[in-house]
Structure 1
Amino acid sequence: MTHYDVHGVSIPALGFGTWQLRGDGARDGVEHALSLGYRHIDTAQVYKNEAEVGAGLEASDVARGDVFLTTKVWGTNVAPSKLTASVDESLRKLGTDYVDLLLLHWPNDEIELEAQLVALEGVREAGKARLIGVSNYPAGMLRDALELVPDLATDQVEHHVFLEQDRLYDIVRERGMVLTAYSPLAQGAVLEDETIREIADARGVGPAQIALAWILGQDRAVAIPKASSAAHRESNLRAADLALEDDERAALDALTKNRRLVDPDFAPDWSA
């Protein structure tokens, strides 16, 4: 599996996402993912499963130091007066004294960006996060953040074969970051696309593997698909070793790339 060095820390290019996984599904999913060979686990405060993710880590035979663990600070907790305490609560639930990556989950324009980032840096300086970054920041906002904190590690955004992120790729490659793709399977839409299915059938693999391989074949790209079933976790992991041919990639590149699935009322102006 590809790993990227980001500011001296190794990030596995394929991770296990836990959005919408709750209770035993989250705990058992994390434990199973680690047993398969995943070494990158992604959660967030708002997923309400940090305790279960932590239980899965604890139940696993994999040492904590061998797992790249991400969580995210929800928008209501990004104020400097709240951020550190909220991170401490996340660490308590996760059963660890640090995360490998800590993200601001969504932009919050009600609180000065510099104040948010200074508080985030403080958590890192206290040893509670090895890397820090942002999520759901459009290109212009990411550049603003990098002016304040030049060594952010990633921008985690929706990205799949139906939604391009070229402007963000330009930035992360220029700055030695990675782009982390959530919803990399377009919430299941890749399973029904005729072009993807034709390529998958010809290769004797599943459409999800083709869609993941399209992302993972891009420079500085990380993907964190969620999988609620053991079979899907196994299938997704095999995509890490699947290389697309030039004609296959060209066919996928040609698909329309304007289908955004995650766009809540509080989302930023994506064109900014």
Structure 2
Amino acid sequence: MSRPDPDRTDRRSFLQAGAIASAAALSTSAAGANPPAQDPPAAAPGATIPKRALGKAGVEVTMLDQGAIRGPSYDRILRYAFASGIRMFDTAKVYGTEPNLRRWFEQDPEVRKEIFLITKDMPKAPSQLLSMLDERLEALGTDYIDLFFIHGLGDDHSLDDAVNMVVSDEFKQTAEAIRKSGKARFVGFSSHHKDRATIIQKAAEAGYVDAIMLQYRPWLPADSALNRALDTCWEKGIGLISMKQIAGQFFGDKPEGNILDDVSRRVPTLKERNLSPFQGLLHAIWSDERITSVCCSMRNTEQIRENVDAARRFEPLEAADLGLLRDATLAHGPTLCANCDGRCSDAGGTRADLGTLTRYLTYYRHLGDRSEARRQYALLPPEARDWSGADLDSARAACPERLDFARLLPGVDRDLG
């Protein structure tokens, strides 16, 4: 995987002295409605984006992964992302976007040969993956998928069941059968569950998965369980793709007030490099050699242009700049904690899933996924939604990103209930 490639960022050389040593992830509309400090150049057809190796899988993918979006503009977004140099595309059964990709492949069959395609499904047992894969192939109109994920591992399973899903002999045999069939080149899972550190650690130790997509933030504490799990993934050669790196009014589709100006003021490096805050976040994420690609649900051509420009101009951020970026985002009251591990609920003395509730609120208010936010909220058990009686001050103090639960949770009841 070290063969020369002028368009590829070397996985080791950018870890300069003092550079970031934490992992990161992002799956969001990383570019917002506001333009960057200076408009990036328009994408040139066929332009390249730096690539990184997906673990030991033996394939290199673009550092940007176009995530799925809902709405009539998606067909145009797919084509514009491709023309801009993006060669990694993400979808799933529950997104309802596989038909868009099928239509694209039918209209331009050569496209399928040039992209790395990811889709997902939600089995209760590993053996179900075989029939689900056939369904996804039919929906996409292709005879193979590059990477097939168990979708949202942990969301519909107990922790024990989630761990057993990816460490069992049944999963090992199923994954081997899938790869051997040629219907999917690689197998893995995605997770934004509060116990994902344990799930990822156990999966990495078992070594049956090729790649993992996870919710993450670039200022993850070095001694955290999730950071240690990602170290194990790196050692085992498991590819890592970031997602769900969203922070409400700062990194959503509708930044509020003078947030962007204030962040740029607080982080001088952004101005020096002519980066918007969104581009700065991407650079923070890519500064971790363990992260292969960043999955962004880019919703318009401006967001694609800005993120592609960030990829082409990537330089690692140093730890001091990462700290400034972290402090600037937290100062504006994020609505989602991408480092959530459930400590907020424990500190608040409640069975309510505070981290998940605020994540769904962020989907609804800042990412435009209103129907999906309500659907997922409705699937939560009653105890996970009932935050009445919780000590919200203690929950906020325990939260890694100090979410203001007293302000946010009434909005959950109003908008999602």
- The answer (yes or no) to whether the contact 1:184–1:212 under 8 Å persists in 2 is no
Q: Match for 1:94 among 140, 162, 166?
A: 140
| Partner of residue 215, structure 2 | 158
5+ residue gaps, structure 1, are 268-272
> Contact 1:29–1:56 at 8 Å: present in 2 too?
no
Alignment partner of 1:133 out of 156, 173, 188: 188
Relative to structure 1, the CA distance from residue 49 to residue 163 in structure 2 (aligned partners, 3 Å threshold; closer, same or farther) is farther
Q: Relative to 1, partners in 2 of residues 1:90 and 1:44: Cα closer, same or farther, differing over 3 Å?
A: same
Matched ranges for 1:142-153 at <5 A: 142-148=200-206, 150-153=207-210
Q: 216, 219, 242: which is aligned to 2:286?
A: 216
The residue identity in structure 2 corresponding to 1:134 is: F
Give the TM-score normalised by the residue count of structure 1. 0.82
Number of residue pairs aligned between Structure 1 and Structure 2: 262
With over 3 angstroms needed to count, the CA separation of the structure-2 counterparts of 1:58 and 1:183, relative to structure 1, is: farther
Correspondence 1:259 to 2:337: yes
What residue number does 2:302 align with? Answer: 231
Shift of 1:178: 2.5
Q: Give the C-alpha shift of residue 38 in structure 1.
A: 0.2
Decide whether aligned partners of structure 1 residues 22 and 158 sit closer, same or farther in structure 2, where only a CA change above 3 A counts. same
Q: Which moved more, 1:240-249 or 1:30-39?
A: 240-249
Distance 1:23 1:16, change over 3 A: same
Distance in 2 of aligned mates of 1:11 and 1:127: 19
Distance 1:184 1:140 in 2: 20
| Residues 8, 251 of structure 1: alpha-carbon distance in 2 compared, 3 angstrom cutoff | same
TM-score, length basis structure 2: 0.55
User: 2:111 and 2:149 mapped to 1: Cα distance?
Assistant: 23
TM-superposed CA distance for 1:128, in Å, is: 1.0
Provide closer, same or farther for how the CA distance between residues 56 and 78 of structure 1 changes in structure 2, counting only shifts above 3 A.
Answer: farther
Secondary structure in 1 matching 2:86: coil
Aligned counterpart for 1:248 among listed residues 307, 321, 328 = 321
* In structure 2, C-alpha distance between the alignment counterparts of 1:66 and 1:36, rounded to whole Å: 13
Q: Indicate how the Cα distance of structure 1 residues 188 and 25 shifts in structure 2: closer, same or farther if over 3 A, else same.
A: farther
Partner SS for 1:152? coil
Q: Which runs of 5+ in 2 are unaligned?
A: 1-49, 341-354, 358-379, 385-417
2:100 is equivalent to residue 39 of structure 1 = no
Q: Does 1:54 align with 2:93?
A: no
Larger Rg belongs to: 2
- Range 133-142 or range 25-34, more displaced: 133-142
Where does residue 58 of structure 2 map in the other structure? 8
Secondary structure, aligned partner of 1:157 = strand
Change (3 A) 1:84 1:195: farther
Does the 8 Å contact 1:162/1:259 carry over to 2? no
Deviations, residues 189-224 of structure 1 (Å, cap 9, x unaligned): 336467743333443222111111111121121211
C-alpha contact 1:185 1:212 (8 A) present in aligned 2: no
Which fold has the larger relative contact order, with Cα–Cα distance below 8 Å and residues 6 or more apart in sequence?
A: 2
Once the two structures are overlaid, the 10-residue window that deviates more, 183-192 or 92-101, is 183-192
Cα 1:142/1:26, change in 2 over 3 Å:
same
Q: Is the 8 A contact 1:43 1:50 kept in 2?
A: yes
Q: Distance in 2 between matches of 1:166 and 1:193?
A: 29
Deviation at 1:187, TM superposition (A): 5.2
Deviations 1:209-246 (A, max 9, x none): 11111111211212111111111011111121221442
Task: Spell out the pairing of 1:23-38 with structure 2 (5 A cutoff).
Answer: 23-38=71-86
Verify the 8 A CA contact 1:22 1:52 in the aligned structure 2. Answer: no
- The answer (yes or no) to whether the contact 1:196–1:211 under 8 Å persists in 2 is no
Q: Distance in 2 between matches of 1:244 and 1:188?
A: 25
1:11 maps to a residue whose letter is V
Q: Is the 8 A contact 2:201 2:229 kept in 1?
A: no
Superposition deviation, residue 132 in structure 1: 1.0
1:78–1:130: structure 2 CA closer, same or farther, 3 Å change rule?
farther
Which amino acid in structure 2 is aligned with residue 99 of structure 1? I
Q: Distance in 1 between matches of 2:205 and 2:301?
A: 42
Share of identical aligned residues, percent?
25
